[in-house]
């Protein structure tokens, strides 16, 4: 397999994905084949490449790392129709459904064969289980072709979620100003900065977006929609956001359509874990400001006895959480953003 970086590709006029040479001015619908493993079957990753007639950057949009998060998958399907090679400078690579087995089995979070979370399995392993082989193919055959990565998610089957964008900064993240400028024009109100200060932060339970960071790419995590819904409003917001990114990167002509005037900025997040298994009753499944010590939910035993009152360890803004009702000990039930005034670099806070 020959992999050509995008900068080389523009010089040579081609990118190779799988065994397909990507020529300028065409659209490609491809499958990356993932061979069978020792204990689980073969699979594939469907990909659309819109290869522009003009030179420009390569933007990678990934949908369906979690196959039960439907808004990104439906947005990817529509986006592929709406971007024409003739109007495009550079390349738009769309991973239509990164985790087909999870999508087809309607399996939230995990692969139905090996029960692993693809978004904790990077960089993957070509000799590993199906999830690890998918991660390896994305790491080696797709991500190296990109200049910028948008990894698009929703709240999964049992998660409520307020739309937000995660942008990777800190000494181990590449080109934070570019990533931040795309985050601000994407169109969502909430922007979280994930500071990558140590290699351990990049490596721990490595997600696709952390893998892109590790491969030196400016990277955004996009999150919208919840509880496995397929709302038109969320699908449209993703499509408009990706188009805004392409306008900002001068890949397409057009005007930015950014409905948000004032962003909420968060310097990081803190997840609240519980001690008990049982039945979870959140106080709210909507985003809101909470005080330190404020009750955010209770857990009852399966017999209905109160076993835990869960309180917020910090003052902040709840971004997403577990809708319940089932909950397991040591799992996170709410993730709280830590508000800050701005995300600019050069202030010593990046
Ligand atoms: Zn996800």
Q: What is the pTM assigned to this prediction?
A: 0.93
Q: Which fold has domain 268-340?
A: OB fold (Dihydrolipoamide Acetyltransferase, E2P) (2.40.50)
pLDDT in tens, 109-137: 999 999 999 999 999 999 999 999 999 99
Q: Are strands 164-169 and 190-195 parallel, antiparallel or unpaired?
A: parallel
> How many angstroms separate the alpha carbon of residue 205 from the centre of ligand 1?
14
> How many angstroms separate the alpha carbon of residue 331 from the centre of ligand 1?
16
Cα separation, 110 vs 249, whole angstroms: 34
Q: How confident is the model at residue 16 (pLDDT cuts 50, 70, 90)?
A: confident
> How many angstroms separate the alpha carbon of residue 155 from the centre of ligand 1?
7
**191 exposure class (CB count in 10 Å sphere: 0-12, 13-18, 19+):** buried
Q: Could you check whether 6-248 and 268-340 share the same CATH topology?
A: no
> How many angstroms separate the alpha carbon of residue 332 from the centre of ligand 1?
15
> How many angstroms separate the alpha carbon of residue 80 from the centre of ligand 1?
21
Cα separation, 122 vs 135, whole angstroms: 5
Q: Which two tokens stand for residue 40?
A: 């689980």
Contacts of 309 (CB under 8 A, 6+ apart): 295, 298
Residues within 5 A (CB) of ion ligand 1: 66, 69, 153
> How many angstroms separate the alpha carbon of residue 11 from the centre of ligand 1?
35
pLDDT in tens, 300-331: 999 999 999 999 999 999 999 999 899 999 99
- CATH homologous superfamily, domain 6-248: Zn peptidases (3.40.630.10)
> How many angstroms separate the alpha carbon of residue 117 from the centre of ligand 1?
9
The domain limits of the chain are: 6-248, 268-340
pLDDT in tens, 52-69: 999 999 999 999 999 999
Q: In terms of DSSP H, where are the helices of the chain?
A: 6-12, 70-82, 100-104, 130-137, 176-186, 199-203, 208-214, 232-248
Query: What confidence score (pLDDT) does residue 4 get?
Result: 42
Residue 5 has pLDDT above 60, yes or no: no
Q: How confident is the model at residue 8 (pLDDT cuts 50, 70, 90)?
A: very low
> How many angstroms separate the alpha carbon of residue 64 from the centre of ligand 1?
7
pLDDT in tens, 142-164: 999 999 999 999 999 999 999 99
pLDDT over 70, % of the chain: 94
């Amino acid at each position: 397999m020959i992999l050509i970086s995008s900068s080389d590709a523009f010089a040579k006029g081609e990118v190779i994905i799988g065994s397909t040479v990507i020529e300028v001015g065409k659209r490609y619908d491809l499958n990356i084949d993932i061979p069978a493993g020792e204990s689980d079957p073969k699979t594939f990753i469907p990909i659309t490449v819109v290869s522009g007639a003009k030179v420009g950057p390569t933007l990678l949009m990934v949908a369906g790392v979690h196959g039960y998060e439907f808004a990104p998958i439906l947005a990817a399907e529509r986006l592929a129709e709406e971007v024409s090679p003739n109007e495009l400078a550079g390349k738009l690579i769309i991973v239509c459904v990164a985790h087909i087995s999870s999508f087809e089995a309607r399996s939230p979070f995990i692969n139905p064969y090996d029960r692993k979370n693809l978004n904790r399995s990077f960089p993957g392993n070509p000799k590993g289980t199906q999830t690890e082989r998918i991660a390896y193919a994305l790491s080696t055959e797709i991500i190296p072709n990109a200049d910028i990565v948008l990894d698009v998610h929703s709240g999964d089957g049992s998660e409520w979620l307020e739309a937000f964008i995660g942008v990777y900064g800190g000494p181990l993240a590449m080109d934070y100003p570019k990533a931040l400028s795309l985050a601000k024009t994407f169109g969502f109100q909430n922007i979280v900065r994930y500071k990558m200060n140590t290699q351990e932060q990049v490596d721990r339970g490595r997600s696709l977006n952390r893998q892109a960071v590790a491969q030196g790419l400016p990277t955004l995590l996009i999150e919208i929609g919840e509880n496995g819904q397929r709302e038109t409003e969320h699908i449209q917001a993703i499509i408009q956001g990706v188009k805004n990114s392409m306008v900002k990167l001068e890949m397409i002509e057009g005007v930015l359509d950014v409905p948000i005037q004032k962003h909420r900025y968060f310097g990081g997040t803190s997840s609240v874990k519980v001690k008990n298994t049982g039945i979870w009753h959140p106080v709210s499944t909507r985003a809101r400001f909470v005080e330190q010590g404020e009750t955010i939910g209770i857990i009852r035993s399966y017999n209905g006895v109160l076993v835990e009152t869960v309180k917020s360890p910090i003052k902040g803004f709840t971004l997403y959480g577990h809708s319940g009702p089932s909950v397991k000990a040591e799992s996170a039930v709410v993730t709280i953003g830590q508000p800050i005034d701005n995300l600019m670099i050069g202030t010593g806070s990046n």
